[in-house]
Structure 1
Amino acid sequence: MTRDQLVAGADPVSAAWIDLCDPSPAECAQIEADYGITLPSADALREIETSSRLRAVGDTLVMTAPLLTRDPAFPATEERWMIVPTGFILTPRVLVTIHYAPLAPLTSVAQAIGPTHSDSPAGLLLHVLEEVIDRAADQLEMVSEQISAISRRIFYGEIERQGLQRETALLRRAIMRLGRAYDRSARVRFMFLSIGRMAGFLAQRGKDRLDAGLEARLHTIINDITSLDEFEASLSARIQFLQDAATSLVNIEQNDVVKVLTVASVAGIPPVLVVGIYGMNFQHMPELSWQMGYPMALALCLITTLVPFVWFKWRKWL
């Protein structure tokens, strides 16, 4: 049962799952009165302590976890994601989910099972967790593809010999894309951490509500979370490596510029010295009255400029 069905006057007592999206105080009061439960507030859903996220009140399990969803404030073409704290209240009669922003996984599960399903509240909760994990795995796959594309751009010559300004701009964009990929994978891992604890809590405190089939599905969920968490850790390591590599390439490009400027400044010192000497206004300077004095000074400036360049080239400093 969705919030819209509840507002339309459907009987909540006959429902096995009630999904409340941004409920009003009156709707919360109705559910609390019908089932004898206390729904967590928006502030309570944001608590990060394990004791606040996982607790048993009689035969009711109260669990909260952050779920990842696309930020509706941005257009679909922009991959902006946000964490939505979500409450799961599991009783022998009903599963109540409460959140204060739309969540695509819950909508997808509700559409998939339909109104005539025969699942128990615990089975419905497992449906939700499976959908959440599937979507999170898709997120990690997209992050992996993004990282591979950035890796090819950095290490396989797509940004070489395009000019310093263009190369630096491309590397800057690569670093920004890596930062966004890391942010997404970190949010997925944060969600996995909470979902994993929630699944473990359910396996321990909700055994009496799980038949053999549901228990096997729950263990599969726990194993999937463990494997995906390891995959996310490897993605984070790759992202960190690529960020370091991109930063190092930017530093190398900057060092090359500094090296060229250093060589140019060093090569410019001798001719400045020559010009400074012959620019002195002493009365007795033999070259001042010499007919070839001016060409000799120009040639000396040229020679003293070329000699440092030849020296740097011979030492392979340039």
Structure 2
Amino acid sequence: MLNLLRRTGRGLAPEVVADGWRPGEDIIWIDMVSPTPEEERAVEQAYGIDLPTREEIAHVEPSSRLYQEDGATFLTATLLARADEPHPVATPVTFVLLADVLITVRYEPLKAFSIFAQRCAKLPLGDGGEAALELLDAIVERCAEVLEQQSALVHETSVAIFNRPPSTAFGPLLTDLARAQSITSMARKSLVSLSRLASFAALAPEFQKQESRRSHLISIQHDVQALTEHSSFTSGHISFLLDAALGLINIEQNSIIKFFSVVAVVFLPPTLVASIYGMNFDVMPELHWMFGYPLALLLMVITGVTPFIWFKKKGWL
């Protein structure tokens, strides 16, 4: 699907590709969402470029995803998609700057693109270079929003771990931490990719020709760096909480094993007494004694209470 943004339009509008399709001179941004081979060929023929396919991007080294060719600057970054859904993914997105036109190629719905598309109706964009900067701003803002959501989730989980009632299951808490760690890791990967993209984008003529755009790009780089550090802190906090949760699980398990061990030791002497007097030998003097039964009961109580008192004094209970 092709979505086009024109200088005179109000936001993105879908475009149908037919034979002999040519973009208008007022095009600022072409957003290609899971494009068909026909749509790719139409854009390539219109601008005289060779767009990388999804398979090519997947098999290309990260260092080879940033290059200049045929007068265009190709920038490919790995961005976090579906962060609000049960199964978030990291997806490649290609930015192409050519003749004051921005072309993006993506294969997943990205909330940052939707937010930017809504802003386009109000932003007076002059060309593709300006659109690229505003789109990068939206992507960075979306990364910041995702990291804030995960930080809030980690804080809630931290409170739940250390203030939970006894015998509360750790399963849901560990599941939340695992999801937060996964999203934070993918967000950090996305930020590192954006950092490399912003550094290489400074070589694009669309950014070199204006000091204000170079300053804007530097500001984006600083924001990306700050968010990368924030993601590293969040990831470290998650690792600490995972270790703390596993430690608390071990403590509870040790307490349970300790309780059963003490109970077994406390009942072992009375069991020994009962075993001795349950052997029914005629030569046992207490067998026919009137006070034999009360004596056996008394011995069992004494041998059971004595270890309990001793454990109490030792602080094992």
Q: Same fold (TM over 0.5)?
A: yes
2:249 aligned counterpart, secondary structure: helix
Deviation at 1:92, TM superposition (A): 2.5
d(CA) in 2 for partners of 1:277, 1:216: 92
State the identity %.
35
2:63 to 35, 47, 51: 51
Once residues 93 and 198 of structure 1 are traced to their aligned partners in structure 2, the CA distance between those partners, rounded to angstroms, is 18
What secondary structure, in the 3-state scheme, does the structure 2 residue paired with 1:102 have?
Answer: coil
Say if 1:206 and 1:237 are closer, same or farther in 2 by CA, change over 3 A.
farther
Offset of residue 304 of structure 1: 0.8
Q: Does 1:139 align with 2:146?
A: yes
> Where does residue 279 of structure 1 map in the other structure?
278
3-state SS of paired residue (1:282): coil
Aligned-residue Cα RMSD (Å) equals 2.1
What's the CA shift for 1:267? 1.1
**1:127 corresponds to 2:134:** yes
| Cα shift readout 1:200-256 (whole Å, capped 9, x = no counterpart) | 011135476441111111000000011110111111111111111111111111111
| Distance in 1 separating the partners of 2:277 and 2:223 | 81
May I ask how many residue pairs the two structures share in their alignment? 305
SS of equivalent residue, structure 1 residue 85? strand
Q: Kindly state the Cα deviation for residue 11 of structure 1 after the two structures are TM-superposed.
A: 4.7
Per-residue CA deviations over 1:124-158 (Å, capped at 9, x if unaligned) read: 11111110000110111111111111111222x3x
- In structure 2, how many angstroms separate the alpha carbons of the residues matched to 1:173 and 1:293? 57
**Runs (5+) with no aligned partner, structure 2:** 5-12
1:308/1:212 CA distance change after superposition, 3 Å: same
Match of 2:215 in 1: 216
Residue aligning to 1:12? 23
Q: C-alpha separation between the residues in 2 aligned to 1:311 and 1:87?
A: 73
More helix by share: 1
Secondary structure of residue in 1 paired with 2:75: strand
Match of 2:196 in 1: 197
CA contact (8 A) 1:19 1:97 kept: yes
TM-score, structure 2 length as denominator?
A: 0.90
Matches within 5 A, 1:1-318: 2=3, 5-7=14-16, 11-14=22-25, 15-47=27-59, 49-70=61-82, 78-114=85-121, 117-155=124-162, 157=163, 159-161=164-166, 164=167, 167=168, 169=169, 171-206=170-205, 209-318=208-317
Unaligned segments of structure 1, at least 5 residues:
none
Any conservation in 2 of the 1:47–1:53 contact (CA below 8 Å)? no
- Name the CA distance, whole Å, in 2 between partners of 1:210 and 1:270: 91
| Secondary structure in 2 matching 1:16 | strand
Structure 1 window deviating more from structure 2 (271-280 vs 46-55): it is 46-55
TM norm structure 1: 0.89
Tell me how far apart the structure 1 counterparts of residues 242 and 173 of structure 2 sit (CA, whole Å). Answer: 8
Aligned counterparts of 1:315 and 1:287: Cα–Cα separation in 2 = 35
Deviation at residue 67 of structure 1 after TM alignment: 1.8
Question: Letter of the aligned partner of 1:235 in structure 2?
Answer: T
Change (3 A) 1:241 1:2: same
SS in 1 for 2:73: strand
Amino acid at match of 1:282: F
Deviation of 1:120 (Å):
2.1
